[in-house]
Amino acid sequence: MRPLLLLLLIGLLSACAEDDKAPAAMLVTDMQKNLQLQFMNAEPGDIINIPAGLFEMTRSLSLKVDGVTVRGAGMDKTILSFKHQVSGAEGMLVTANDFLIEDLAIEDAKGDALKINEGKNIIIRRVRTEWTNGPATENGAYGIYPVQTENVLIEGVVAIGASDAGIYVGQSRQVIVRNSRAEFNVAGIEIENTLDADVYNNVAINNTGGVLVFNMPNLSQEGRRTRIFNNRIEDNNTPNFALPGGAVAGVPAGSGISINSNDEIEIFDNDLRNNQTAHIVISSVYSTNYSERDTASAFDPYPEKINIHDNRYSGGGDNPDTEYLPQLKAAVFGADGAFPNVIWDGFINTQLAPDGVLPAELQICIYNEASSAVFNVDAPNQFANPRLDELQHQCQHAPLPAIELVFVPAASQSGQGE
Amino acid sequence: MLKRLRSGLLAAMLLCVGCAPGGVVVHETAPAALSAWGLMTSDGQQLQLGAGVTPYQLNATLFTDYAHKLRTVSLPPGTQATVMPDGRLDFPLGTVISKTFFYPRVSGALVQVVDAESVLDASLGRNGGLDLTQVQLIETRLLVRRSSGWVGLPYVWNATQTEASLEVTGDIKSLTLVHQETATATDFPYIVPDQNQCAGCHNTDTASRQMNPIGPRLANLNRSLTGKVPDLNQLDYWQQLGILQLDGTVADQPRLVAWQDATQNLNDRARSYLDSNCGHCHSSTGAGDTSGLYLDIGTNNPVRLGECKLPIAAGQGTGGHRFSIVPGDPEHSILVFRMQTRDPGAMMPELGRSLVHAEGVDLISAWIAALPGHCS
């Protein structure tokens, strides 16, 4: 503890020099107040450095000032621990534009770890969010959690143990999630109701579901156009430990990539291994938690224009989760058999499919892979006719454009979006 | 003790009719001591409001761990608040709104009072202030209208109740509350919000990032003043004081019901409670719009209000339930669960309480139980 305490003191003294309004005696014993004061007194362009050390926080930290950088000494060196938090629904709450946070960890938040609610030009880099007791239902919901944001770069982060999603981007626009690692969360990486996202060069391993792209009804926008490529998505077989009720509580353990009610998804060049329900699961909100009243609005519940190509698969599909999938697998593929790489609940907008089959421009298309087969479980007809369809999926959609992010210098510092 | 609080109300209001404006000092930089504002003074025995400081009452109040609240407003001399189209008041520059949180105190113990009317009554105080031998002051929060917008300032009272000091990073006080009827003692951390957290509720329009007063809206101020004889409407009173410019008569104005008032319609009471406790965030413009759940008084779409609505990003907050509200079934409604839990990661509101508001839970449960329909 001695070296740590010394570091703490050094860090605090340097902070005091900049803020003569705060009495030093108070700050030495209270990093909570010190940090919150710096957050409140910050001005655009300020860099708030947090020294190495393990800092116990008892209440949420919040930042409202645009153009601020929060920088630690490394995701394993600067640790904000909320294990003894008594107040606040998140570890850190940011409602500001041009925000950069890097090189620190947020551990054991009671609710969400890092929430950014409404902001443009957000960079989250080399941040670790973790619940240190491993996967548990009582863990907080989200690790990295930008919502209603625009122009967002998440890179090099590590998210572990979230009882909902490790990295969750909700109701946002223009997003990149890359070079990150999500492990032992219910959902590793989840893109929800978001327009134009690229998810690449990530590792999603040992989650319940590796990478999710969902749309939920009755929100500010419906999402579309997400690319998932060059990711390593494997062994996402951790039993679902989400509290029932939330959208991810219905995700079968062993889901590599899960698409729910979202459109225009391109999945390519990924390495998918040993995801025991299926490498790619495509479904409608009708297969998860829903009510007819909730979806009665203009919401589009059907996943359409899914483009799957050039992925590499091994293992998987051999030990599906949920009540009905094991039976279906055994009945159709045998006790020792396995689902194909892609399974689908089979819900389609019948108004757009006069002969019961969607036209090619709306299809799940699979090309440049060993097979274009999709296992349709026929959920709309209570699994009456589960079947392997191939011909209708031998198609391809035009590739989606790459996301390009542009940051103003104040927020970018280094290594801004490609 | 409560009777004494009540009986002092008449004197309080009459006293303030004669108050001369001009006692309040509007600081551009927040002073460390609350007394510097001229809003109130205390000798440790009696809290007295300053000249030009008007206590006010609301129909529908926000729950804060059973704390009682003395609310005041002071406008610069000669200025008036006007009514905006949405029913909020546009207060002039230099307006200071204060809210002093306190608990009734008996033999040194803080008391949880369950009589709903007395909560309202006591919030007005005695002689325009409070008898500090009967209550314990905790904090005073200010909202100050500056040219740059509203600013929130949290002041925390000292143990002798003689002064409150600015604590921009808030405070946590370990309190014990003794139930008035059952004598059950409950320990809890009373959370004084930090300055940023003021915006957590008062930033009612996240796009503008501006803070706004929440309580003193036209419909919430539209009520008779407790202790006034004969029945005097608060809006009339404010007009008499010259601090409110109103178009039309008071009778034409919207009015929120007091959610405590069991003689009122259950739906109106529940909607009033949800509006004042949830609607500042859960509206189409508030921070809670990420959930798609709107609980403000202006929302009428049942699904928007939570009926059979899927939770969004609720995490622990679902309590294992599928829908925000299941008509007829409060026990399986997320809304009730989030009001009943004390877990910071699951409870609603996210800020401002550590205890469960049993009376609020009862009201919302009764309302949901009476809703027709089902979610299947």
Integer-rounded Cα Rg, in Å, for chain A is 22
In a domain, A328, yes or no: yes
In a domain, A11, yes or no: no
- Chain A residue at shortest CA distance from B320: A244
pLDDT of residue B37: 96
Decide if A98 is inside a domain: no
Kind and range of the H or E run holding B4: helix B2-17
Pick the residue of B290, B291, B301 with the most A CBs within 10 A to test the interface with A by mutation: B290
Q: What is the percentage of chain B residues whose pLDDT exceeds 90?
A: 76
Do the domain assignments include residue A310? yes
User: What is the distance between the alpha carbons of residues B364 and B278, in angstroms, rounded to a whole number?
Assistant: 12
CB contact under 8 A, B313 and A32: no
Predicted confidence at residue B173, as pLDDT, reads 94
Q: Which letter, b or e, does each residue of A11-50 get, where b requires 16 or more Cβ atoms within 10 Å of its Cβ?
A: bbeebbeeeeebeeeebeebbbbbbbbbbbbbeeebebeb
Nearest residue, CB atoms, A40 vs list B191, B196, B287? B196
* Section A373-386 average pLDDT: 95
Give the pLDDT of residue B160.
Answer: 96
Q: If pLDDT is split at 50, 70 and 90, which confidence band does A292 have?
A: confident
pLDDT value of position B328:
97
Strand partners, B190: B173
Q: At what angle do helices A2-18 and A31-41 cross, to 10 degrees?
A: 30
Could you tell me if B373 and B307 are in contact, meaning their C-beta atoms sit under 8 angstroms apart?
Answer: yes
Is A223 part of any domain? yes
pTM of the model: 0.90
For residue A193, the SS3 value is coil
pLDDT band at B230 (very low <50, low <70, confident <90, very high): low
pLDDT value for B23: 79
Residue B333's closest chain A neighbor by CA? Answer: A245
Question: Which residues of chain A have a CB within 8 Å of the CB of B200?
Answer: 62, 93
- For residue B238, the tally of other CB atoms under 10 A from its CB is 23
Q: State the amino acid at position A257 in one-letter form.
A: I
**Cross-chain Cβ contact A216/B310 below 8 Å:** yes
Cross-chain Cβ contact A170/B314 below 8 Å: no
Q: Does any CB of chain A come closer than 8 Å to the CB of residue B268? A: no
> What DSSP letter does each residue of B150-194 carry, written as one string?
EEEEEEEE-TTSS-EEE-TT-EEEEEEEEETTT--EEEEEEEEPP
pLDDT of A29 higher than 90: no
- Token representation of residue A188: 């590793």
Mean pLDDT of A303-311: 98
Across residues A210-216, what is the average pLDDT? Answer: 97
Q: Give the pLDDT confidence score for residue B113 in this predicted structure.
A: 85
At residue A355, the pLDDT reads 87
Say yes or no for a CB contact (<8 Å) between A87 and B191. yes
A204 touches chain B (CB under 8 A): no
Which chain B residue lies closest to A171 (C-alpha atoms)? B290
Nearest C-alpha in B relative to A117: B287
- Domain range annotation of chain B: 2-245, 261-369
Instruction: Judge contact between A177 and A198, C-beta under 8 A.
Output: yes
Q: Is A129 on the interface with B (CB under 8 A)?
A: no
**pLDDT digits 0-9 by tens, B111-143:** 998 654 454 455 454 456 788 998 999 999 999
pLDDT, greater one: B23 or A135: A135
Three-state SS for A18? helix
Closest CB to B315 among A95, A140, A216? A140
CB pairs under 8 A between A and B: 165
Tokens standing for residue B168 = 């921009």
Q: Is residue A76 part of a domain?
A: no
pLDDT of residue A344: 97
Confidence at residue A311, expressed as pLDDT on a 0 to 100 scale:
98
pLDDT confidence bin for B376, thresholds 50/70/90: confident
- Structural domain containing residue A165: 111-411
Say whether pLDDT at A67 is over 50.
yes
Within a domain: A84:
no
User: Is pLDDT at A26 greater than 90 in this prediction?
Assistant: no
Q: Does the pLDDT at position A289 exceed 80? A: no
Give the separation between CA B97 and CA B71, rounded to whole angstroms.
Answer: 7
- Which whole-number Å values give the CA distances from B205 to A144, A154, B274, B279, B313, in the listed order? 24, 27, 18, 11, 21
Separation in Å, CA A215 to CA A169, A171, B15, B148, B317: 12, 9, 59, 39, 20
Hey, which residues does B98 pair with through a beta bridge?
B72, B142
Give the relative orientation of helices B2-17 and B234-241 as an angle to the nearest 10 degrees.
40
How are beta strands A158-160 and B54-56 bridged, if at all?
unpaired
Q: Are B347 and B180 in contact (CB under 8 A)?
A: no
Residue A100, in any domain of the structure: no
Nearest CA in chain A to B210: A64
Q: How many CB atoms lie within 10 A of CB B348?
A: 24
Q: What percent of chain A has pLDDT over 70?
A: 90
The verdict on a CB contact (< 8 Å) between B318 and A245 is yes
Asked if this assembly's ipTM is beyond 0.95, the reply is: no
Q: In this predicted structure, what is the pLDDT of residue B11? A: 37
* Predicted pLDDT at B226: 72
Q: Closest to B344 (Cβ–Cβ): which among A86, A192, A297? A: A86
Q: Give residues 241 to 280 of A whose Cβ lies within 8 Å of B.
A: 243-247, 249
User: Span A356-362, mean pLDDT?
Assistant: 93
- Asked if B375 has any chain A CB less than 8 Å from its own CB, the reply is yes
| Widest pairwise Cα distance in chain A | 77
On whether any CB of chain B is under 8 Å from the CB of A89, the answer is: yes
Q: Which residues of B touch A62 (CB under 8 A)?
A: 194, 196-197, 200
> Strands of B129-131's sheet, edge to edge?
B40-42, B46-49, B129-131
Q: How many domains does chain A have?
A: 1
Token pair belonging to A20: 């003569």
Average pLDDT value for residue range A344-373: 95
Other beta carbons within 10 angstroms of residue B312's beta carbon come to 21
A164 has a chain B CB within 8 A of its CB? yes
CB proximity B137 to A under 8 Å: no
**B contact test, residue of A56, A114, A185, A218 with most B CBs within 10 A:** A218
Mean pLDDT of A228-240: 98
Asked if pLDDT for residue A118 goes beyond 70, the answer is yes
- Per-residue pLDDT, B124: 53
Check CB contact under 8 Å for B209 and A95: yes
Q: Which of B20-29, B181-190, B325-334 has the lowest mean pLDDT?
A: B20-29
CB-based contact, A21 to chain B, within 8 Å:
no
pLDDT at position B170, please? 93
Omega before B349 cis (within 30°)? yes
Q: Which residues of chain B have a CB within 8 Å of the CB of A249?
A: 318
pLDDT above 70 (res B341): yes
Using a CB–CB cutoff of 8 Å, tell me whether A299 touches chain B.
no
Query: Which whole number is the average pLDDT over A45-58?
Result: 95
Choose the weakest-confidence range: A290-294, A337-341, B366-370: A290-294
Mean pLDDT for chain A overall:
90
